[in-house]
């Protein structure tokens, strides 16, 4: 009698199927521009995913065929050259191969002595160099900028407690005095979530007004800090936007650093996508990013690496370790053998078991070179600026915020004024999704609904901006014509 295993009975057959799937994948990417960006999932396809749990095996050939026909055709669409919704990266061809190799190795990158640690340390050291960050700083590859923000703000909080002689890991939040954290009204939801999760509470997150470029007003920030101090609060951290989610705005980093120094506060940068501008000819836009105590960023947005992959850098390595390191008996390290490896990455974050995310980042950077990423980031910014110019020339369109980086907020204007503007623009967005030519998302600026184009896409051409304009106008006119008596 044979032992059970999950390996194939016939490796040649497996290899044959694997090759066929790779051929499918290559064609899938090569022809992406010819397909719709997004399409609705038909009901008979949805039914496939309501079937009962299989107790018996399915042939690999049949299984792959189902995946190709019923899964692959219905993606979110962010690999398409005209996907501009939210802030989503495109992925890279070499990243696909890296994911396959990482899956084959199936290492646990939480710690121990094996190659993934070297790859991750190298990726982090490259990023430190690119951000002009000190080599002694610590870092971690994360699931994304949400986790990175959570880690940065947690270290900031614990570091503050430490500075007043309180071990927050022992006492918990009930052991420390009232603390407050600051950011603009434009901060990302992941900051709010982090503040809620670590027991600070949203009320203690002071959201400061912005100027017409959507940058935090420094005088308002400083006034609020003083007011809080006078009311017995302990300000501990300012979160700076480097590429705000709504409009791509970048706060005055040098100004924020000055205030942080004056009041002894931690400066955390949320640079999910904007921090990568540092790689491009527009790098002056993010001057001062190196002054932050911690930087959160993503590889899966503007470095196009496959989901998911983010990163965080913390200047004070010891503060980082003090917050997260925990090595119980069953995780003791040795000086030689597999249990060696110095500091484990699990000592710098939440996950113990971790995937080998570093490989797809490492292979992407090696394959393309940093200059290429810089050129594409600059290209996306130029596309956004061009789109902004096109919008300004159109009677029926209005630009809603200055185009600082890669985000364009605008809306369709019905000059007859008979229909509700928010409703018309919402319908334009949904209709465009259904037509599948262009995907945008939406946001609200000063309470007004607007269409939002965010370009973090290495497949986009300059001409695609004309398609955006034409599509919005065409769909807008149709909606107006149908709905006006
Ligand atoms: C996307 C984003 C985040 C959250 O990052 P995830 O990778 O989605 O977790 C945080 N801040 C900003 C500005 C973002 O754009």
pLDDT digits (tens, 9 = 90+) for 105-143: 999 999 999 999 999 999 999 999 999 999 999 999 999
Could you tell me the distance, in angstroms and rounded to a whole number, from the CA of residue 40 to the centre of ligand 1? 26
Using CA atoms, how far apart are residues 134 and 131, in angstroms rounded to an integer? 9
Residue 21 has pLDDT above 70, yes or no: yes
Residue nearest to atom 14 of ligand 1 (CA): 272
> Residue 190 C-alpha to ligand 1 middle, in angstroms?
7
pLDDT of residue 328: 86
- What is the CA(208)–ligand 1 centre distance, in A? 20
**pLDDT given for residue 334 in this prediction:** 86
243: left (phi over 0), alpha (psi -120 to 50) or beta: left
The mean pLDDT value of the chain amounts to: 96
Helix (H, G, I), strand (E, B) or coil at 108: coil
Expressed in angstroms and rounded, the spacing between residue 85 Cα and the centre of ligand 1 is 13
Helices 421-435/464-483 angle, 10° precision: 120
Task: Please tell me the predicted confidence (pLDDT) of residue 363.
Answer: 98
For a pLDDT cut of 90, what percent of the chain falls above it?
Answer: 94
Of all protein residues, whose CA lies closest to atom 9 belonging to ligand 1? 146
Mean pLDDT score, 58-68: 97
Residue nearest to atom 12 of ligand 1 (CA): 272
Residue located nearest, by CA, to atom 15 of ligand 1: 245
Which of 88, 242, 244, 270 to mutate to test ligand 1, by most ligand atoms within 8 A of the CB atom?
270
Q: What is the pLDDT of residue 340?
A: 86
What are the tokens at 196? 């809620």
Question: CB under 6 Å to ligand 1: residues?
Answer: 87, 144-146, 188, 190, 243, 245, 270, 272-273, 298, 310
Q: pLDDT > 70: what percent of the chain?
A: 100
Q: How far apart are CA 208 and CA 211, in angstroms?
A: 10
Q: The tokens of 35 are what?
A: 């397909």
Angstrom distance (rounded) from CA 310 to CA 427: 33
Q: Per-residue confidence at 339, pLDDT binned at 50, 70, 90?
A: confident
pLDDT digit string, tens, across residues 417-472: 788 999 999 999 999 999 999 999 999 998 999 999 999 999 999 999 999 999 99
> Do 424 and 414 touch, CB atoms closer than 8 A?
yes
CA-to-CA separations, 362 to 32, 134, 358, 445, 470, in angstroms, rounded: 25, 20, 6, 38, 39
Q: What residue's CA is closest to ligand 1, atom 7?
A: 144
> Per-residue pLDDT tens for 368-420?
999 999 999 999 999 999 999 999 999 999 999 999 999 999 999 988 778 89
Across 19-31, average pLDDT: 98
* Residues 349-373, mean pLDDT to the nearest whole number: 98
Give the per-residue pLDDT at 331: 84
CA distances from 7 to 15, 60, 102 (A): 12, 12, 18
What value does the mean pLDDT take over residues 10-38?
98
């Amino acid at each position: 009698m044979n032992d059970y295993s999950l390996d194939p009975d016939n490796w040649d057959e497996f290899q044959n199927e694997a090759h066929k799937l790779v051929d499918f994948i290559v064609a899938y990417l090569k022809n992406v521009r010819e397909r719709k960006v997004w399409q609705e999932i038909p009901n008979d396809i949805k039914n496939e995913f309501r079937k009962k749990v299989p107790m018996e095996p399915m042939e690999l050939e049949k299984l792959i065929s189902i995946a190709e026909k019923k899964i692959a055709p219905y993606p979110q669409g962010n690999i398409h050259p005209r996907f501009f919704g939210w802030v989503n990266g495109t992925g890279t061809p070499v990243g696909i191969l890296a994911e396959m190799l990482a899956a084959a190795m199936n290492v646990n990158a939480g710690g121990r002595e094996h190659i993934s640690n070297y790859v991750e340390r190298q990726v982090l050291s490259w990023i430190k160099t690119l951000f002009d960050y000190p080599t002694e700083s610590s870092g971690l590859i994360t699931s994304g900028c949400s986790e990175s923000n959570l880690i940065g703000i947690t270290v900031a909080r614990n570091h503050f407690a430490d500075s007043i002689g309180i071990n927050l890991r022992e006492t918990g939040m009930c052991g420390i005095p009232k603390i407050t954290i600051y950011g603009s009204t434009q901060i990302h939801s992941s900051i709010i979530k982090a503040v809620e999760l670590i027991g600070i509470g949203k009320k203690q997150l002071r959201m400061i007004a912005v100027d017409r470029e959507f940058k935090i007003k420094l005088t308002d920030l400083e006034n609020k800090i003083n007011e809080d101090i006078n009311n017995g609060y302990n300000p501990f951290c300012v979160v700076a936007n480097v590429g705000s989610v709504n409009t791509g705005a970048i706060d005055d980093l040098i100004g924020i650093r000055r205030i942080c120094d004056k009041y002894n506060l931690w400066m955390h940068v949320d640079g999910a996508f904007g921090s990568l501008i540092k790689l491009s000819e527009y790098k002056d836009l993010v001057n001062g990013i190196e002054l932050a105590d911690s930087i959160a960023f993503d590889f899966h947005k503007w470095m196009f690496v496959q989901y998911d992959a983010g990163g965080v850098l913390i200047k004070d390595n010891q503060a980082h370790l003090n917050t997260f390191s925990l090595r119980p008996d069953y995780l003791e390290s040795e000086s030689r053998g597999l249990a060696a490896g110095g500091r484990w990455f699990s000592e710098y974050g939440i996950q113990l078991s971790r995937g080998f995310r570093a490989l797809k980042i490492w292979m992407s950077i090696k394959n393309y070179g940093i200059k290429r990423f810089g050129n594409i980031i600059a290209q996306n910014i130029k596309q956004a600026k061009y789109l902004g110019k096109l919008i300004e020339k159109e009677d029926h369109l209005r630009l809603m915020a200055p185009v600082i980086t890669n985000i364009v907020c605008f809306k369709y204007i019905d000059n007859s004024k008979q229909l509700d503007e928010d409703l018309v623009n919402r319908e334009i967005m949904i209709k465009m999704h259904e037509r599948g030519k262009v995907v945008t998302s939406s946001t609200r600026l000063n309470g007004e609904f607007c269409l939002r184009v965010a370009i973090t896409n290495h497949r986009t051409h300059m001409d695609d901006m004309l398609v955006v304009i034409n599509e919005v106008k065409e769909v807008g006119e149709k909606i107006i014509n149908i709905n006006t008596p």
